[in-house]
Amino acid sequence: MMKRFILVIIMMISTLGVYSFTGNTLDAKKTSYASYYHDKFNGRKTASGEIFSNSKFTAANRTLPFGTNIKVTNLNNGKQVIVRINDRGPFHASRALDISKAAFDEIGDISHGTIPVEYEIVD
């Protein structure tokens, strides 16, 4: 009986321990690289079903839920923009975000294909 009680206590502590770490991972700031969408994607459907427009402030990420607003900071110049996740991607291992051309132009130079960024959820 005592062994069963101790086992239940250990399981509860383990479960609570794992839960406390998973809640904080979404709020953490993350660093990676961002690229921007080519104009050929204008008018196409995104993974969320929305029609893509390079003039809106939207982005693609592999894991963040659709509709999540994130603040993206260019690590080279400190400029920031808020974008909404509406697509999946990028499908390149070194990048975490594909952002619309309008959003990229706000924080960086579109003559460069990628920029180092820090991003965090703002909702």
State how far the Cα of 53 lies from the Cα of 58, in Å rounded to an integer: 8
Residue with tokens 């050929």: 40
In the chain, what are the helix, strand and coil shares in percent, each to the nearest 5? 30, 30, 40
pLDDT tens figures, 50-92: 999 999 999 999 999 999 999 999 999 999 999 999 999 998 8
pLDDT tens figures, 46-61: 999 999 999 999 999 9
Taking the model in full, what pTM does it have?
Answer: 0.78
38 token code pair = 């080519």
DSSP type of residue 29: -
Burial tier of 60 (Cβ tally within 10 Å: 0-12, 13-18, 19+): buried
Q: Is 20 left (phi over 0), alpha (psi -120 to 50) or beta?
A: alpha
